[in-house]
A and B are shown apart, each in its own frame.
Chain A
Amino acid sequence: MLAVTPLRQLVGFLPFIAVVLVIGIGQDLGDRIYGLLTGVLIVLLAGTLRWFTTRFRITGERVELRSGLLFRNARSVPRDRIRSVDVTAGLAHRLFRLSVVKIGTGERTDGGESRELTLDAISSVEADRVRHRLLAPTDAAQVESSGVTVAPAANELAALKWSWLRFAPLTTSSLVALGAVAGTFGQLIGDVGADAVDVGGVRERLTTAPLWLGLAVLAVLVLVVALVGSVLIFVESWWGFRLVREPGGTLRIRRGLLTTRSVSLEERRLRGIAVIEPPLLRVGRGARTVAVATGLGGRRGHGRGILLPPAPRSEAHRVSGTVLSECPSPTTATLLRHPPVALRRRLVRATMPVLVGSVALWVAPVPTWTGWATLGLLPVTVLLAVDAYRNLGHALTSRYLVTRYGAGARSTVALQRSGVIGWTVSQSLFQRWAGLVTVTATTAAGHGGYPVIDVPTADGLAIAERAVPGLLVPFLQHDAVAARTH
């Protein structure tokens, strides 16, 4: 930290330094340089002071962190509350062989934010030792004293295959790349002034060129940026990816080219697994595997449950199985189809708004083609509706409740039946008419609840009752007679 914090702060100051050097506060260059040196010195001093005043210690029960001279800051976390220990190292940190250790408690404060303890810039060796010590079962205190020699016993569950690079353009990172490039470009034009673009009469040539050519060039440009950008992002974030099971029941993910990341997840926090197929990835027969675990910090910490880069669907299912120690993976279980009335509901939802919309446009004082154009959406929405219906499914295996849902994007979630901590049965007016319910298994992990959508009332309740025997039974009625006289 002695080196990294000032370094990072100085890098942050670089533009300011440049401005001072060029424009200057003092009269002559000498004054400017002295002024700057004083500034740098202050930054270095502040960093050193912070280093001297920051201390952490790990006792048998707690992890404590103190920092600050003027504003004293002390935080401590009970060790039995620690749910995750993540280690990351950015470029500056790696230059000095340092790491940042984030100790998560998974506790949610009122703001929905997870309380974390961050040990910034401790040596990477020390970081690994801290990680091992905090994640080791508390009774096995001897293990950490023998150092880092536990690693060889680790069992590799998955590693990066470079053929998965083909999924990179199918992820949102291609959009991120586009946004970044567009943002930088826009800022450049804004900073330098629009005239700078008009080099060598480009503008004149642009205005005389045919429109289709401009559009084609733009399309190719967008495609290239998205392609290259997403590949770069993929390589940066997934370089050297390995998912291992460490002795003591911890899953560890290590990845990253420039910034290295290590995420550890205790297996006893695992409540299930989700195979997620976003629309584009699904077209390319790819999927992601996400752990459904407690203590990841709710929705905000969702990214921390990612166990696998975008990978072939079969690989995603295989890893799901290995992580859960189940073969075959419950996510590949044969699912029960939902009744056709669920399809009708989806078709109605897909067609009614479009029909109403186009009728409204025909009646309204706007050109009639807008109505026709709206009507043109119909095939798309109908296809989505059929897809949404085909994706619906559920199953109950000996240990898991499996549910699948989604239109376009598809999620298959396998939730441990022992991890279900309650039920929510909901029924809209239309569901009531169709005799359907949505049964949501609530859990302490992941999203907090996973729904089995649009099942016949009796079937839905039966699933809930069989998944967690005894919980729902006092509130159920087997009223064959009442149902028939209706």
Chain B
Amino acid sequence: MTAPGMQPATSEPLRLRPPRHRVSPRAITWWTTQAALEVVAVLAPLTVAIVVWAEARAWLIPITAVVVVIGLGYLLVMPRWRFRVHRWETTDDAVYTSAGWINQEWRVAPMSRIQTVDTERGPLQQLFGLATVTVTTASAAGALRLAGLDHAVADDLVEQLTETTQATPGDAT
């Protein structure tokens, strides 16, 4: 296992391969809904201002138009982009995730260092049958978040991770 790791740093172009599993396709709907809510939260006060404050319409309307265009773009692009990036995988030894869209992040945590496994289901996630699994290690900075998993898949994953980590001795620091 150590042999491939001993290669010199600069010989071969090395890269991380994407983790094996995609998240649930329903995550796209979830992210879109979330994004829509965010865009509405920005647009609502602007609209109210346009209605109430007549003198400011000259510059409020262009601003609102720009927000609408950017918001629509965000709404259409972000969820699909995220769906292409967000992936996860577990092996016998480690959990591996990738997340993000414009800025991306890959995280690896060995099974032996996992301390807790939490599931979280917000109202929107419940609506779409999704769940977020958070795998925490002893590091304050190393938690892995698997957002937008199918509910059943998440349950299986939690069970599997809990079993594996219970079998590992030590305090994982």
Contacts and interface: CB of A to CB of B under 8 A. Distances in A.
B103 A461 contact: no
A477 B16 contact: yes
Interface in B19-41: 19
Interface string A446-486: 01110000000111011101100111111111111001100
A417 to B, nearest CB: 11
Contact of B109 (A298, A421, A479): A421
A422 interface: yes
Interface stretch (A65-73, A125-133, A424-432): A424-432
Interface residues of A, number: 44
5 contacts: A424-B141, A424-B142, A427-B103, A457-B15, A469-B2
A196 to B, nearest CB: 50
Interface string B84-108: 0000010101101000101111111
Interface stretch (A215-223, A245-253, A437-445): A437-445
A365 to B, nearest CB: 15
B4 interface: yes
Contacts of A480: 12-13
Interface of A: 108, 294, 298-299, 421-429, 432, 440, 442-445, 447-449, 457-459, 461-463, 465-466, 469-480, 483-484
A458 B9 contact: yes
B17 A477 contact: yes
Nearest to A477: B17
B5 A442 contact: no
Given A442-B141, A458-B14, A474 B94 contact: yes
A465 B14 CA distance: 11
Contact of B1 (A108, A299, A421, A473): A473
B105 A425 contact: yes
Interface of B: 1-2, 4-10, 12-17, 19, 89, 91, 93-94, 96, 100, 102-110, 113, 137-142, 172-173
A443 B141 CA distance: 8
A472 B96 CA distance: 9
A478 B14 CA distance: 5
B140 A298 contact: yes
Contact of A473 (B5, B102, B103, B106): B5
B13 A449 contact: no
Contact of B5 (A429, A466, A477, A479): A466
Nearest to B110: A471
Given A461-B15, A476-B16, A424 B105 contact: yes
Contacts of A457: 13-15
Leading 8 A-B pairs by shortest Cβ distance: A448-B140, A442-B142, A448-B141, A449-B141, A444-B138, A483-B13, A444-B173, A469-B5
Contacts of B10: 458-459, 462
Contact of A421 (B9, B104, B138): B138
Nearest to A106: B173
A476 B137 contact: no
B110 A462 contact: no
Contacts of B172: 421, 444
A471 B105 contact: no
B114 to A, nearest CB: 9
B141 A469 contact: no
Contact of A475 (B7, B16, B105, B140): B16
Given A426-B103, A480-B12, 16 more contacts: A421-B139, A422-B113, A425-B16, A425-B106, A426-B100, A426-B105, A449-B139, A458-B10, A466-B5, A469-B6, A472-B108, A473-B1, A475-B17, A479-B15, A480-B13, A484-B13
Contacts of B108: 422-424, 471-472, 475
Contacts of B15: 457-458, 461, 476-477, 479, 483
Nearest to B14: A458
Nearest to B98: A425
B14 A462 contact: yes
A294 B17 contact: no
A440 B140 CA distance: 12
A447 B138 CA distance: 11
Nearest to A455: B9
Contacts of A442: 109, 137, 139, 141-142
B141 A479 contact: no
A399 to B, nearest CB: 15
A421 B113 CA distance: 6
